Structure 1
Amino acid sequence: MLKRKYGDRSEWKRVLKREYIQSFLNTEEFKGYVSLLHIEKVKDPLSVNYDGKKVCIADDGYIWLQHFPIEEHYSLTTMFDPQGNIVQWYVDICLQCGIENNVPWMDDLFLDIVILPTGEIIEKDADEIDEALSKGIIDKLQYKMAWKEANKLYKLISNNEFDLMKFSKNHKEILLKKVNQ
């Protein structure tokens, strides 16, 4: 069974105090749901390690902006520090995105791509998708589709043509204005 991840991250126990808003955008550059999680207070900061470089991705004051594009096989999360700097972009390859009880979700296909502000691109969890296939959690068609999507996105990112990344700051501001209304 695929893991369904929701935009409000309500199951995330690390976050003690949060503010959440979402919106449906239908523009020339993007069609789908966008969620904004303002992490006001955490139990413990969350850091990840990329080739010996420690990167904090969740702490007091961080914002996670997640895009759930309609009819695509990925979701993009942009993580901002309290000063508004992008810490990383995180692409989840997924079977599909949808909405349930007015909260956007995606069905995770295990394979991920991380893009750091330096331009470094990190492929993640190839071992997890291989294991999911061997255990029958996903089938060969889903496996091939996930790799096809990841390779397409990797090429776009490498060529600076994954335009959704460029809209992260603008979409964050659109949602923050809704919070302040």
Structure 2
Amino acid sequence: MTKRKIATHPDWDRILRSRSAVSTIADENFQVTAPMAAEYPDHDSLCVLADGYSWLRCFPQSPHHIMTFMFDADGHVLQLWVDVCLDHGIDAAGLSWWDDLYLDIVVLPDGYLEMQNADELADALADRSITQVQFDLVHKEAQMLTTRLQSEYVSLMNYASVQRQHLLPLVADHL
């Protein structure tokens, strides 16, 4: 079984207040209980969640992945987090969801790329939470994404920055 995730992260106690549009956006009105940092080899600790930071979550036409661009308070892209999933959509309440297939890909602005949670994927296959067909789908999608991300990460980061600027006024209108 996949893990159904909701784009607004209602299960994260760390987030005190946020607003959401079709793509999750947070600005200076986004508050957290404590910053969250990520650690990557040969990189300084990277804060990816803090007051004033914003995330842009994109649900592309491909049903097998979603992309979350994480920005600092000044609007600089910190990282791209890609969730490989079985499917994604919007529920009756208008909230975006995805059926997570455990494997994630992280890309930093300098081009560093790392797979995350491969152990969770292997465990899910071993305990039959996912099927062999789903396991194979994850690897096929990850291979395609890795190739694409290695060649297109700069244009994706630029695209995300432009989209963030277009969407921020939409969130401001809902204050």
Q: Report the TM-score, using the length of structure 2 for normalisation.
A: 0.90
Deviations 1:82-127 (A, max 9, x none): 0111110000000011111211111110011100011111111111
Runs of 4 or more off by more than 3 Å in structure 1? Answer: 161-166
Which structure 2 residues correspond to residues 88-99 of structure 1 after superposition, within 5 A? 88-99=79-90
Partner residue of 1:35 out of 6, 13, 24: 24
Aligned partner of 2:138 among 146, 153, 158: 146
- Summarize the Cα distance change of 1:161–1:168 in structure 2 as closer, same or farther, 3 Å threshold: closer
From the two aligned structures, give the one with the greater strand fraction: 1
**3-state SS of 1:37 partner:** coil
Contact 1:156 1:162 in 2 (8 A): no
TM superposition shift of 1:165: 4.2
1:163 CA drift (Å): 5.5
- What is the percentage of aligned positions where both structures have the same residue? 34
Task: Note if 1:50 corresponds to 2:40.
Answer: yes
3-state SS, counterpart of residue 108 of structure 1: strand
Residues matched between the structures, number: 170
Aligned position for 2:164:
172
Secondary structure (helix, strand or coil) at the match of 2:11 reads coil
Q: Provide the C-alpha distance between the structure 1 equivalents of 2:89 and 2:157, rounded to a whole number of angstroms.
A: 20
Q: How does 1:1-181 map to 2 (within 5 A)?
A: 1-22=1-22, 34-38=23-27, 40-51=30-41, 53-100=44-91, 101-160=93-152, 164-181=156-173
SS of 2:103 mapped into structure 1? strand
Q: Any gaps of 5 or more consecutive residues in structure 2?
A: none
Structure 2 Cα separation of the partners of residues 167 and 11 of structure 1: 29
Please list the CA deviations of residues 38-71 of structure 1 after superposition, one character each: whole Å capped at 9, or x if unmatched: 4622111101111263111101111011011234
Name whichever of 124-133 and 11-20 sits farther off.
11-20
RMSD: 1.8
- Contact 1:21-1:37 within 8 A present in 2 as well: no
Distance 1:135 1:75, change over 3 A: same
Compute the displacement of 1:160 (Å): 2.1
Change (3 A) 1:91 1:132: same
